[in-house]
Amino acid sequence: MNPDTHFKGWAKPGPVPPGLAAGVTVEPHETLDAISGHFRLFQLRDGHRFSTDDILAAWYGTSWCPTARTALDLGSGIGTVGTICAWRLPGANFVTVEAQSESVVLARKSARYNGLTERYDIRVGDFRDAEILGADEKFDLITGSPPYFPTDAGVKSEHPQKLACRFELRGTVADYCATAAKHLAPGGFFACVFPYEPAQLARVQAGAAEAGLVIVRQRPVIFREGDRPLVGLFGLMRREDLPEWFRGQTWAEPDLIIRARDGKIHPEYSAVKLAIGFPP
């Protein structure tokens, strides 16, 4: 699976609304793009751009945990998943954690522009470090779009922002599971997206089991009708929060198709975009 082929940002820049927020400007090397309802996202023109998997992770998490009051996004990058979740959960407070300072700068600009700063805590650092998240910090919803590839796999991008988003420089899917398990509130839900081919699926399953999580539901994602699933959406909960009879079960949902055979957006994915307020 070539990351530069399947996981690029695919949205065209949205129109810039009249009047940027005070102190927020669009620099020549940046774009300001529509992402969710009236929210906009700052991105580098030649850096990491938001992608389909980001959108799906945010949609999946907020669909299955729609009453979350507290939310955490791990490895939050430029803030795509968190921003969509914040639009979908207008009453929730958010914490996001991202190690790349360049991405954090963009995420903070987006938060200011969208008026989210009072309920949106953007932290800089590796989420595996104990000082980033307090032991007593618990969240109803945790989201993550882990990098997919070991550092020795594939053709690496020359741009460091893209590199860290696609290759496991700061943690694997197992690390995401371990951190989520520590910080889920009772009955909380962890949503992530990860490759679906057998070897990668096994990594999600092993990471979940080691962390004491149960995959309660999963959904394969097909990027073009007729192709095999490239990624899957996973919903996980703490084993101790589940009734004993449910702990060995996973609800396998039907495939979610992004594009029909003729290349047009599949009606079901159009409904996903509508649900997150994404422009047509």
Within-domain flag for 123: yes
Structural domain includes residue 280: no
Q: Which residue type sits at 197?
A: E
Evaluate whether residue 169 is within a structural domain: yes
Which residue range(s) make up the domain with 222?
3-7+9-275
pLDDT block averages, 10 residues each, the chain of length 280:
36 48 85 95 92 96 98 96 98 96 96 96 95 97 84 55 51 94 98 95 96 97 97 97 85 96 96 89
- Residues 207-248: pLDDT tens digits? 999 999 999 999 999 999 999 999 999 999 999 999 988 877
**Cα–Cα dist 186/77, whole Å:** 27
**In terms of pTM, does the model score above 0.85?**
yes
User: Which is it for strands 251-252 and 213-222: parallel, antiparallel or unpaired?
Assistant: parallel
Residue 49 lies in a domain: yes
Number of domains in the chain: 1
Give a yes or no: residue 69 inside a domain: yes
- pLDDT (0 to 100) of residue 3: 35
Which residues have CB under 8 Å from 181's CB, separation 6+? 190, 211, 212, 213, 238
- C-beta of residue 163 within 8 angstroms of C-beta of residue 157: yes
- Residue 269 inside a domain? The answer is yes
- Is 58 inside any structural domain? yes
Query: Does 211 map to a domain?
Result: yes
The CATH number of the domain where 72 resides is what? Answer: 3.40.50.150
